[in-house]
Amino acid sequence: MVNDTALKLDVGRKFSEAAAVGGAVIDLAAAKAEEKAKFVCRGVRVHYGAKEALHGVDMDVPDAGVTALIGPSGCGKSTFLRVFNRMNDTIPGARVSGSVLMDGADIYAKGVDPVLLRARVGMVFQKPNPFPKSIYENVAYGPRIHGLAASRGELDAIVEGSLKKAALWEEVKDRLKEPGTGLSGGQQQRLVIARAIAVRPEVILMDEPASALDPIATARLEELIDELRKNYCIIIVTHSMAQAARVSQKTAFFHLGDLVEFGDTRAIFTNPKDQRTQDYITGRTG
């Protein structure tokens, strides 16, 4: 209960702050009317030991489409992304407070198993991290541990389907037994996406997925993201403003652990309301 009041107070502070810098930045009511929210975050704070990395974030992530998180290095984008699949739990000393509802259910509630949550919220990392196993085994790993396939045939079908959705099938279908680490960087990243898709998640989190890729591989990845957004809710962290503009429908700008501005990507890039956002996208900070 104490938490609750803290949360409300916090929300209040957030709004007054927003008002102080010129008008309501986040029009929650409008957002809700427009589309259903996949995640509803209120007063999310993350501590690493004694240090607070996120100072209370309120944000509604829409169910459909791509949401981009941008902001200068160290502002807490990755930290916020890890909130959605509780990956912060694996970091010693990390604590998350506030509330995060996914389809209306609190994912930090007691009794929620992060393992099950992560099956519904997949993640792709900055550096491709295929397991040192065959391509097939990489994709089959998730379905295996979650018991998604009853037979070998079903598993084969899941692997094939996932690789197809990740636009990798044509390139690897003849060498599924070869190690996943032998692929090129761009292929590895798509393999990792296939691996995540194979668990049939509803959400895919991506932390700077293109930062280790060359421009051609990046372009392919962006095409893939554009394709995937029809079926998945995607949240992507990126350092490239152009990329955010190209792939996302919503953009959130973070600065020093605060969510400064959140709205339609086009609006953010053409008509930022906050001075800090403006400075960042015009290249004066960051």
Partner 1 sequence: MTDARPLADRAALARIARRRRGEAAFRTASMAAVVAAVAMLGWLLVTLVGSGATAFYQHVITLDVALDPSKLDPTGARDPAELQKASFRPILQSAIYGRFPEATGRDERRELFALISVAGATDRLRRMVRDDPALVGTTVRITAPVSDVVDQLLKGRIDRKVDATLRPVSDRQIAWIDALRASGEIKARFNATFFTATDSRDPELAGIASAVVGSAMALAVALMLAAPIGIAAALYLEEFAPKNRITDIIEININNLAAVPSIVFGLLGLAVFLSFFGLPRSAPLVGGFVLALMTLPTIIIAARSALAAVPPSIAAAALSVGASPVQAVFHHKLPLAAPGILTGVIIGMARALGETAPLLMIGMVAFVTEIPSSLTEPASALPVQIFLWSDSPERAWAERASAAILVLLIVLGAMNAAAIFLRQRLEKRW
Partner 2 sequence: MTTLGIFLSLIFESLRFFAQVPPLDFLTGLQWSPQTAMREDQAGQSGAFGAVPVFLGTLMITGVAMLVALPIGLMIAFYLAEYAPARMRAAVKPAVELLAGVPTVVYGYFALLTVGPAIRGFAEAMGFAVPTQSAVAAGAVMGIMIIPFISSLSDDVINAVPQSLRDGAYALGATKSETLLRVVFPAALPGIVGAFLLGVSRAIGETMIVVMAAGRAANLSANPFEAMTTVTVQIVAVLTGDQEFDSPKTLSAFTLGITLFVVTLILNVIALIVVRSYRDRYE
Ligand X SMILES: Nc1ncnc2c1ncn2[C@@H]1O[C@H](COP(=O)(O)OP(=O)(O)OP(=O)(O)O)[C@@H](O)[C@H]1O
Report the amino acid identity of residue 13: R
From candidates 132, 147, 215, 283, binder to partner 2 by CB under 8 A: 132
Q: Cα(56)–Cα(59) distance, rounded to whole angstroms?
A: 10
Q: At what angle do helices 135-146 and 185-197 cross, to 10 degrees?
A: 20
Residue 145 near which of partner 1, ligand X, Mg ion, none (CB within 5-8 Å, type-dependent): partner 1
Cα angle vertex 265, ends 238, 218, to 5°?
35
- Provide φ and ψ at 67, rounded to 5°: -110, 125
Query: Least distance in Å: CB of 228 to partner 2?
Result: 16
Which three-class secondary structure state does DSSP give residue 190?
A: helix
Asked if 155 interacts with partner 1 (CB under 8 A), we say no
Asked if 53 interacts with ligand X (CB under 6 A), we say yes
Q: Cα(38)–Cα(203) distance, rounded to whole angstroms?
A: 9
Which three-class secondary structure state does DSSP give residue 222?
A: helix
**Pattern 188-227, partner 1, x by CB under 8 A:** ----------------------------------------
- Decide whether 128 or 142 has the Cβ nearer to ligand X: 128
User: Which residues does 125 contact at the CB level (< 8 Å), separation at least 6?
Assistant: 192, 207, 209
**Which of these ranges, 11-19, 119-127, 152-160, 221-229, lies near partner 2 under the rule CB under 8 A?**
119-127
Residues 201-240 that bind partner 2 (CB under 8 A): 205
**Which of these ranges, 4-12, 113-121, 158-166, 262-270, lies near partner 2 under the rule CB under 8 A?**
113-121
Total residues at interface with Mg ion (CB under 5 A)? 1
**Which of these ranges, 55-63, 144-152, 169-177, 186-194, lies near partner 1 under the rule CB under 8 A?**
144-152
CA atoms within 13 A on the CB side of 139: 31
- Decide whether 66 or 197 has the Cβ nearer to partner 2: 197
Short-list 249, 220, 219, CA closest to 236 = 249
Asked if 116 interacts with partner 1 (CB under 8 A), we say yes
Asked if 78 interacts with Mg ion (CB under 5 A), we say yes
**Pattern 55-94, partner 1, x by CB under 8 A:** ----------------------------------------
Q: Cα(80)–Cα(181) distance, rounded to whole angstroms?
A: 29
Asked if 27 interacts with partner 1 (CB under 8 A), we say no
From candidates 26, 41, 68, 87, binder to partner 2 by CB under 8 A: 87
Beta-bridged to residue 61, according to DSSP, are: 39
User: Which residues does 139 contact at the CB level (< 8 Å), separation at least 6?
Assistant: 158, 159, 162, 163, 191, 194, 195, 198
Query: Least distance in Å: CB of 91 to partner 2?
Result: 10
